[in-house]
Amino acid sequence: MQFKDVLADAALKQKLIDLARAGRAAHAQFFLAQPGSHALALAVAYGQYLCCENPAETDSCGECPSCKQFAKLSHPDLHLYFPNCTTKSVKKDPDSVQLAPEFKEYVLKNDFHVDIHGWLSVLDGENKQATINTRDCSDILHHNNLRSHQDGYKVYILWCVDRLYHLAAPKLLKTLEEPESKSVFILISEEPDKILNTILSRTQLVKIPRLTDVEIAGKLQQSYPDITPDEASDIAVLADGDYNKAIHIVTDNEDQVLMLQQFEIIFDSVMAFARKQNLNAVGYDVVQEVFSEVAKQGREYQKQFIQLMLRMLRNILMQNSNNPAMLKVTHREQSVIDKYRGVLHLKQISAMTEICNQAVYHISRNGNSALIFTDLYFQLVKSFS
């Protein structure tokens, strides 16, 4: 992984390069990542640059044996540690070494656009306590006491270090404070509040800025040539700095369009009902069909649908308050929001937001979907009147 392939702030990448060239690379660094950032790729690119045999002023060479090994995550001096748990193949005493082939495959397959939920799905470990455990820490201590294989840097990357097991963490304190020569530790997390202060205090903080809409849109057009500039811009707005979310929106784009159509049907009906218009205008039979379709898709889809409703309500409020800079909408969503300009007001939107949040709460607790959505509809009608 070269720096040129990392989706991250250009100034930050150059700063890391400059520190490495000046021989001032901190031995322990904490990469404070943003959701959906390319943090793991940045860490690997940094390690590749440190170990490169012919580094240039702006990047590693990408051609030497060391760079080629880093590209496959197979360099003998690159040590990866990540949350792990028992699996079908590792039924007892799991650790990062045993699960390294699966982790590397997951990372490379997704071009380093990874997150903990995706990794746990690979492990089939969503309901397990995946941790960086004491066996991982013992492995780190073992390698830190050995010479590097290629007489260069040894690079240790701890991904999702917020999941470092609390009883294992103390084993690393002395190593982080006084590592062997040419050892670089890179700790990555989006949740610093879950990390022991004694760990953080021994590292140099590197803040990874949130991705801009322009950066996300540009990467989407590069990765998905069929996406138009307007579509890429719309998706970037919805992703809100999270490129992993942008990928999900691309792959589930048909769902997003359908949800918006369903939202429009429901709110048109709610307004007609509240205004006591005739049954044909209300179209409750069509609303029931919508609820039936939403319920069939499973609870995650149901929650996503209500989250879309909440986002639309927020944007209607922002538009009514003449605050367009706060809008987070696609071109298609803007046309829907325009329909409700001046129709829904703060009091109504506040009540509707609470109603939607209650619905999400009940869905999360496995409530009856048909009853939840029926109640949601009539509560919305009541709040509108």
Locate the domains of the chain by residue range.
3-210, 215-246, 252-384
How confident is the model at residue 226, as a pLDDT?
A: 83
Provide the pLDDT for residue 258: 84
φ, ψ for residue 63, nearest 5 deg: -120, -25
* Sign of the CA dihedral with 290 first, then 291, 296, and 301 last: positive
> How far, in Å, CA of 198 to CA of 216, rounded?
35
Q: What are phi and psi of 258, to 5 degrees?
A: -65, -45
Phi, psi of 187 (to 5 degrees): -100, 130
- Measured between alpha carbons, how far is 61 from 47 in angstroms, rounded to an integer? 13
- pLDDT given at position 255: 72
pTM confidence score: 0.72
What confidence score (pLDDT) does residue 46 get? 97
Query: Are the C-beta atoms of residues 135 and 172 closer than 8 Å to each other?
Result: no
Say yes or no to pLDDT of 104 above 80: yes
Q: Which of 95-104, 131-140, 319-328 has the lowest mean pLDDT?
A: 319-328
Residue with token string 């901190």: 26
How far apart (Å, rounded) are the C-alpha atoms in residues 176 and 237? 39
Q: Cβ of 153: how many Cβ atoms within 10 Å? A: 22
3-class secondary-structure state, position 145: coil
Neighbours of 94 (CB within 10 A): 23
Higher pLDDT, 146 or 289: 289
Pick the residue with more confidence: 299 or 174?
Answer: 174
Per DSSP, the three-state class of 21 is helix
Q: Is the pLDDT of residue 322 over 90?
A: no
Q: Which CATH class is domain 252-384?
A: mainly alpha
Amino acid occupying residue 205: L
For the domain 3-210, what is the CATH superfamily, name and number? P-loop containing nucleotide triphosphate hydrolases (3.40.50.300)
Phi, psi of 16 (to 5 degrees): -65, -40
Asked whether the predicted pLDDT for residue 178 surpasses 90, the reply is: no
| 119: helix, strand or coil | helix
Q: What pLDDT is attached to residue 323?
A: 62
329 pLDDT band (50/70/90 cuts)? low
Q: Quote the mean pLDDT of the chain.
A: 88
Report whether 323 contacts 366 (CB < 8 A): no
Residue 68, pLDDT score = 96
